[in-house]
Amino acid sequence: MPDRETCMPLRQLGRTQITISPIGLGCWQFSSGRSLIGKYWGSVQPETIREVVRVSWQNGVNWFDTAEVYGRGMSERSLSAGLQAAGVKPEEAIIATKWMPLGRTADSLTANIDIRLKELSPYPISLLQIHNPLSFSSIESQMKVMAQLIDAGKIRAAGVSNFNLAQMRRAAETLAAQGYPLASNQMRYNLLDRRIEDNGVLEYAKQTGITIIAYSPLAQGLLTGRFHGQPERVRSLGGMRKYLSAFQPANLRRTQPLIDELKEIAENHKVSPAQVALRWVIQYPGTAVVAIPGASRPSQALQNALVMKFSLSAQELNRLDEVSRSVALK
């Protein structure tokens, strides 16, 4: 296997011993259209998935985020197949997956983890995340089971997703009482959605050493600029994205100033607007934030990985900050 490309330094995942690249690969698209959540994206062929994984790995991405609800395990199985095809050894890749708590109690975590390990085999689970705060069990009960899974060697670290400040603090304090740090909180964060900067989540993460994993860092493709001025592209979208309010004409007009700024900066760096938007996510807030853009084509995977090979100036970061604040969600 040829040497992997070098890129920006790895970052510590929370206060664990796990180190990850600032850009990971989000694997929701690997659902292949299965299950209600999987149908959100169009189907991606197995050979394309394998190439997306290979290109990501070869260009410095060392971790991959998936979940049981992404195609009822299809994403996990597809990721495993892709890593094996790329010749990645089980001890080399960092795998993050998620348990869906909706309609369940914390007790189901114990049985469910064995299913997750089977789907991802031969790759171990480095990070297990609670997908949202909607379990029948308390946050404290869930975190105690997560600690038991670490004790049993089933996972290396515990994280959460979509937890607000109060929920995040409860999770962190409960895990700390069990002797483990809360590694991460996976939250929506991009130039059009900066609410974690104002609601205390990002500040608390920085204070306590919790990593923020930014999902939807390109606002589900809106920040690529491909849809502004070309509404016919919205109609050609697969899955459910075409129906989102963000892609409707009024919102495309409202966010046009940000797209114009992204394009101007991108031209100066000879990169794409999407790459500038991604770079902002992993650079503007400092090392506390990493991002997990998805990719349904190898070319997308390469562009995502190359974000780790250039940087934005302080002036460019400030320009984006100013324009973003005028159009972002409040």
In a domain, 4, yes or no: no
pLDDT tens for residues 268-301?
A: 999 999 999 999 999 999 999 999 999 999 999 9
* The token pair that represents 3 in the structure block: 């040497």
* Digit-coded pLDDT (tens) for 194-243: 999 999 999 999 999 999 999 999 998 899 988 887 777 776 666 666 66
Q: Residue 259 domain-assigned?
A: no
What CATH number corresponds to the domain at position 130? 3.20.20.100
Is 317 among the domain residues?
no
Closest to 14 measured CA to CA, from 189, 139, 187, 158? 158
pLDDT of residue 153: 98
**Which helix H or strand E contains 328, and what residues bound it?**
none
Reported as a pLDDT band with limits 50, 70 and 90, residue 1 is very low
Give me the torsion for CA of 93, 132, 46, 233, rounded to 10°.
-120
Q: How confident is the model at residue 330 (pLDDT cuts 50, 70, 90)?
A: low
Least confident piece of the model among 186-200, 243-257, 263-277? 243-257
CB distance 26 to 186 below 8 Å:
no
67 or 245, greater pLDDT: 67
Which DSSP letter does residue 224 get? G
Which residues, in sequence order, are bridge partners of residue 63? 94
Q: How many beta carbons lie within 10 A of that of residue 204, not counting itself?
A: 18
pLDDT of residue 206: 98
In total, the chain counts a number of residues equal to 330
Number of compact structural domains in the chain: 1
Q: Which residues pair with 246 in a beta bridge?
A: none
Cα angle value 168/17/312 (rounded, 5°): 75
pLDDT of residue 228: 83
The whole-angstrom distance between residue 144's C-alpha and the CA centroid of its chain comes to 25
Which pTM does this prediction carry?
A: 0.94
Q: What is the DSSP string of 243-262?
A: GSGGGSHHHHHHTHHHHHHH
Considering the domain boundaries, does residue 233 fall inside one?
Answer: no
Q: Give the active site residues.
A: 70
Can you give the pLDDT at residue 241?
64
Residue 36 pLDDT grade (very low, low, confident, very high; cuts 50, 70, 90): very low
- Name beta bridge partners: 25: 64
The reply to whether 235 falls in a domain is no
Number of other CB atoms surrounding residue 318 within 10 Å: 12
pLDDT confidence bin for 250, thresholds 50/70/90: confident
Strand pairing class (63-65; 25-26): parallel
DSSP state of 193: B
Residue written as token pair 């292949």: 32
Domain that holds residue 301: 11-220+272-312
pLDDT, position 18: 98
Cβ-based burial of 265 (10 A; exposed 0-12, middle 13-18, buried ≥19): buried
Read off the pLDDT of each residue in 92-102 and give the average, rounded to a whole number.
96
Residue 289, CA distances (Å) to 172, 227, 264 in order = 17, 27, 25
- Torsion-angle region of 60 (φ positive above 0: left; ψ -120 to 50: alpha; else: beta): left
pLDDT tens digits, one per residue of 104-143: 999 999 999 999 999 999 999 999 999 999 999 999 999 9
Q: Is 298 a domain residue?
A: yes
- The secondary structure of the chain in percent helix, strand, coil, rounded to multiples of 5, reads 50, 15, 40
d(CA 168, CA 162): 9
Mean pLDDT, rounded, for 52-77: 96
State the average pLDDT over residues 6-26: 93
Is residue 6 assigned to a domain? no
64: in domain: yes
Rounded Cα distance between 251 and 154, Å, is: 45
Give residue 43's pLDDT. 73
CA pair distance 131, 204, nearest whole angstrom = 19
